[in-house]
Structures are given as C-alpha cells and as structure tokens.
Structure 1
Amino acid sequence: MKIGVLGWDYGEMDPDAPALVETGKERGHEMSLFTLEELAFTPGTTGGLNVTAGDQPAESFDAIISRAKLYGEDWQDRVERLTVLSNVPGLRMFDPADVWVRGYSKFLTAQKLAEAGLPTPPVRSADTTADIEKACEEWGDIIVKPSFGYRGVDVERITDFRTQTDVADDLLARYGRLVCQPFYPTQYGEYRITVAGEVAPINMLKLPAAGSWRCKTLEGASFESFDAPPELMELALRASRVMGITLAGLDVLPTADGYMILEVNPIPGFLNIFGAERHKQTLNGVFDWVEKQVSQS
C-alpha cells in the first residue's frame, strides 16, 4: 500500500512520525512523510479542490496516518487543512479531522464517552468567575483547565474559591471559557494506557511527586511500567473505539467508585519510553489496524 504519515514535524519534536515511516517500509509499504504546512489546494477539473500532500496527489494514497499538530495560534488554519484532507474522496484517514477535534476537546471527549456509558468526570463550562464559584459550591474541590490544551498546561486546582479568585480570573482572561470538573484524589497514582489499534503495549502507573497532586511526568511525577488488569485494558480499548482514535493515550484514574477516564489523547508521545521492543509493538499495532481497515473497505 501507499501510506502517508502526516507528522507534527520531521522528528524534531515528534520522533515517532519518522519511526512510523520506517516501520511501514519494513512492512513493504510505500511511505511518505509530510506536515500540514505541506498540504496545498489547487482548482479541481470539475470545480472544488485538488489536494496535494508533499507534492503528491492526496487521492494517490491508500491511507494517511495523522500525527498532526493542531495546537497554536494558527489552529483554525490547521484544522481547516486537516479537514480538507480528510474530505478527499476514497482516502482513508487514521484519523480524520472530526476524530482529532473530538480528542483534543475536553468537552467533546466527555460528551462522547458519557454517551457510550463510559466513566468520565462530570463537567461544567465556565465563562465567568461566578460559574467557577458555582462549580466550587457543587463539588468543593475542583479542577479548572482550558478545553483545548496539552501536557497539563494551565490545569489548576481550586480548593478555596475565596482565596483563589486570581487563578480563575487569570485563566478566564487567557482562554475565555474553561472546563470545570470535580477533583479526585491522586495519591494512588494515575494510569496511562497507550492503545495502538487492537493492542495496548505501553502501560504505566504515574505517581505524583511528594506534596503534589499532579500526575504529570514533566512536572516531577514518577512512572513505572505495570501489567494492566483485563478490565482496565478492556475499558481502554473500548474508549479508543468509541472515540474513533487509532493510536490513543488514555489517562485513567482509580477512584473509590471505580476507574474514571480523564483523557483520551489522540497523539500520545514518548512511545519508546520502555524500550525498543514495546516501541515496535506499538508502531506495528498501528499498521495492523490500518491494514485491516483498508483491506476491509
């Protein structure tokens, strides 16, 4: 098959895009790597658009695996480019623009998971400090964050609204609208399950640093590999299929009421964190899924 990889970049920030290209070549595919900036649109012969991806006609690909960056001040342009590519007739995208937007948005993720009966925290939107105060009155201890965000940037905890109004004001000034959720204790850690198609080769337990509630490795949390129990694996695989994401990083919190899905990330990184063997299993899991879906179509 002819398969394109739509990369975040050429490996400077995301080494897994070039790694996907090399894995595809090893499996006998004709592979190309390009970025959203290299998508171009020209007039179609019967109106509409012709789309080129890295100077190749988009319709010439059997499939495109996307690890595209949608964040940034130019997000509207980036989403538009990915949507136009996703609309090319006959082209199989893994994954198309609507799936990516759903995975990036905290509101859309919560809506989709809840519709499927999967455990996810309740959410409130906040446009004013009064909205955040209402969330505090309902839940007491809360988390506030932007709907579109990554790497835990600007995720804050409000335990006392009266003394933390400056936190609320600052985030509202920057983002306009925020996500409010109840805070769940994290002292026993948070699970990260990385699903690749129909397998989940990378499973880790993240533990917050002493005195912190944050389970973010970039903010001092420790991590270790662990064998996920069958019910957790089943939950992660089901959530990935519900979201429509081929390669997903799920943050799942154990609570007194069972597992709670906090996030289904459509572009998980650090896929080589536990060594070459599991890195390869993850990349091959992506291609197993892509090949299966294309052959069935």
Structure 2
Amino acid sequence: MKIAILSLDATLYSTRRLKDAGDKRGHQMRVINYMCCYLNITADKPMVMYQGKPLDDFDAIIPRIGASQTFYGTAIVRQFELMGVKSAIPNQGISRSRDKLRSLQILSGEGIGLPVTGFAYLTEDIDHLIEMVGGAPLVIKLLEGTQGIGVVLAETHQAAKSVIEAFRGLQANILVQEFIKEAGGMDIRCLVIDSKVVASIKRQGAEGEFRSNLHRGGTAEKIQLTSQERITAIRAAKAMGLPIAGVDMVRSHRGPLVLEVNSSPGLEGIEKATGVDVAGKIIEFLEKSAANDKKGTPRSGAVRDRIKY
C-alpha cells in the first residue's frame, strides 16, 4: 500500500514510529505536511494538491492533525475521503473529539460515565453552576485547551467564581467540572484500535500538580484495566466514531469516568511505558480495513454519499 501520514513535522516521535512501522511491513510511506496542501473542489474529480502536484495515488492516509489546525486539517482529510482514499481516522471523528462540549454530550447520550459538567454563557448564575457540579474544589476547562493548558483547579467557591468571571470576561468558552478527589491526580490513558484496548497506562501528576498530562511533568507506567474500564474505553471510542483513539478516564467511587477522547493520541509515552508496538498495530488495522473495503469498492459518487460532514 501507499500510505500518507498527514503530519506537520516528520521528526515527531509518533510520526517517525508510524513511518518506520509501515516501512517494515513493506508499504510505501510518505509524510505530508497537510497545512501545505490545497484543494481542487469539483464535482468531477475532487483532488488534494501538494507542491503543484495532485496527491492521487495514495491508498490510505493516517491523519495526525494538530488541535490548532483542526478546521483545515479535517478539510484535507475529508477531501481524501471524497477521493475514495481510506482514512485511518475519519474526519467526523476528529471534529467531534476536538469539540469538548460536543464530545461530552455525545458520550452522555450513550450513557457513558462522566464527571458532572456544567456549561453556561451568562455569569448571573455562577453560584448555582458551582453547586450543580458539587461545589469547590472544581475544575474549570477552556474548550479550546489541549495538553492540560487552560485547565484550572479552583479550590474554593470564591476562587471558582473569580476564575469563571475572568474567563467569561474574555469571552472564553469554558466547562465547569466536578473534581474527582479520589483519583489523587492520577488518570488512565487507554489506546483503542478497532474496538480493542491494545495498551493502557496510568499517568500520575507531578508533586503538587492535579493535572496528570505527561507534557505537564506527569509520569506514566503500565496498568491493568478492570473489565468495566476496558468496556468504557471501547464504548467511548465507538461513540465518537474513532477506530483509533486515546481514551482518558479516572477511577471514581462510582466507576470509571471519561475525561476526554483523543483522535491523535501521542505514541511515545504509552509505547515506552508498556513496550507495545502501537504504531505497528495501527498499520495492521489500516491493512485489514483497506482489505475489507476492497471487497466492495464503491464508485467515487458512492464514496461521497457515505461521508459524514
């Protein structure tokens, strides 16, 4: 197969691992900076262009779309899908996962465990909003934040009011969320591929830090999941329409609670902590998926009909 990895930087760990894994399995791998692509949008032959040439000979793509480039990146993925190119991660799943509010609503609709979460526009009912999620301490999250950036722990009612008022004064969209004290600054990252959890780690926040993100100084080690945690991770990925996903959850007194579903999970932390060849499993999934698609290859019009926007 000829496979394009859509990534801003060919030197990133995850991008390198995917390329190496594909090379080892005999595929023609190429890293494409998707922000340098442009689109020829036409009814007859939609095309993705790159450096003046059409990218019309790929069998599949692996999107590694950065959070700040979601709008443009998903447009590129969608165009490849219109061309009949297999995407390891559908554009709709990426879009859903990047909208924290939408993703929580989708998960809630599927009955998947979540921390109690509030969302509001006006600040007149801040006191009730705080009470609704269980009072202080509580977590305040920017909808557009990533890697723990824009996540604040407000330890008192007054601190929560001040932070909410400050964010809303800047017209920032925020979520107000229950603080799961019993998690102790630890969360679980599950890597789901094709409705199976292939690797899982627990991430512990640094001393004095409630955020467990590795980018914030957290540590990672392999963890054994309970059957309920495994089922929750698989259900969350499926609900988001993501065949490949990183599902973050915490352990609580009422069972596993999903914090986020990531459509471009980093591979470095989980591969090094578990020893699992996650990149290789992604390539294997793409091979299997592409083979299944070939059994009933649709015409380009049929491909366009089945794409969700």
Give TM-score, length-normalised by structure 2: 0.82
The SS at the match of 1:60 is: coil
Q: Specify the alignment match of 2:153 in structure 1.
A: 157
Residue 153 and residue 43 in structure 1: after superposition, are their counterparts in 2 closer, same or farther (change >3 A)? closer
> 1:235-267 CA deviation, whole Å, 9 max, x = no partner?
222322222223322111111111101111111
1:207-218 maps to which residues of 2 (within 5 A)?
207-218=204-215
Measure how far apart 1:218 and its partner are. Answer: 3.1
Q: What is the letter of the counterpart of residue 6 of structure 1?
A: L
Which residue of 33, 44, 47 corresponds with 1:50? 47
Count the aligned residue pairs: 290
Q: Aligned equivalents of 1:126 and 1:283: distance in 2? A: 40
Q: Specify the alignment match of 1:177 in structure 2.
A: 173
Measure how far apart 1:25 and its partner are. Answer: 1.8
Residue 41 and residue 206 in structure 1: after superposition, are their counterparts in 2 closer, same or farther (change >3 A)? closer
Q: Does residue 111 of the first structure (1) align with residue 105 of the second (2)?
A: yes
1:270-285 maps to which residues of 2 (within 5 A)?
270-271=267-268, 273-275=270-272, 278-279=275-276, 281-285=277-281
Measure how far apart 1:273 and its partner are. Answer: 5.0
Q: Specify the alignment match of 1:140 in structure 2.
A: 135
- Structure 1: segments with no counterpart, 5+ residues: none
Q: Does residue 93 of the first structure (1) align with residue 84 of the second (2)?
A: no
Q: Does residue 268 of the first structure (1) align with residue 262 of the second (2)?
A: no
Q: Specify the alignment match of 1:249 in structure 2.
A: 246
C-alpha contact (below 8 Å) 1:113/1:242 kept by paired residues: yes
Q: What is the letter of the counterpart of residue 2 of structure 1?
A: K
Q: Aligned equivalents of 2:52 and 2:273: distance in 1? A: 32
Q: Specify the alignment match of 2:305 in structure 1.
A: none
The SS at the match of 1:288 is: helix
Q: Specify the alignment match of 1:34 in structure 2.
A: 32
Q: Aligned equivalents of 2:49 and 2:32: distance in 1? A: 10
Measure how far apart 1:210 and its partner are. Answer: 4.0
User: Relative contact order (alpha carbons < 8 A, sep ≥ 6): 1 or 2 greater?
Assistant: 2
Q: Aligned equivalents of 2:175 and 2:244: distance in 1? A: 25
Q: Specify the alignment match of 2:304 in structure 1.
A: none
C-alpha contact (below 8 Å) 2:203/2:212 kept by paired residues: yes
> 1:32-55 CA deviation, whole Å, 9 max, x = no partner?
1102222122364x6674222566
Using the TM superposition, name which of 183-192 and 97-106 deviates more: 183-192
Q: Specify the alignment match of 2:67 in structure 1.
A: 70
Q: Specify the alignment match of 2:301 in structure 1.
A: none
Q: Aligned equivalents of 1:164 and 1:115: distance in 2? A: 28
Measure how far apart 1:188 and its partner are. Answer: 6.7
Q: Aligned equivalents of 1:229 and 1:67: distance in 2? A: 29
The SS at the match of 1:152 is: coil
C-alpha contact (below 8 Å) 1:8/1:17 kept by paired residues: no
Q: Aligned equivalents of 1:54 and 1:121: distance in 2? A: 46
Q: Aligned equivalents of 1:28 and 1:276: distance in 2? A: 27
C-alpha contact (below 8 Å) 1:249/1:268 kept by paired residues: yes
Residue 231 and residue 155 in structure 1: after superposition, are their counterparts in 2 closer, same or farther (change >3 A)? same
- Structure 2: segments with no counterpart, 5+ residues: 294-309
Using the TM superposition, name which of 148-157 and 236-245 deviates more: 236-245
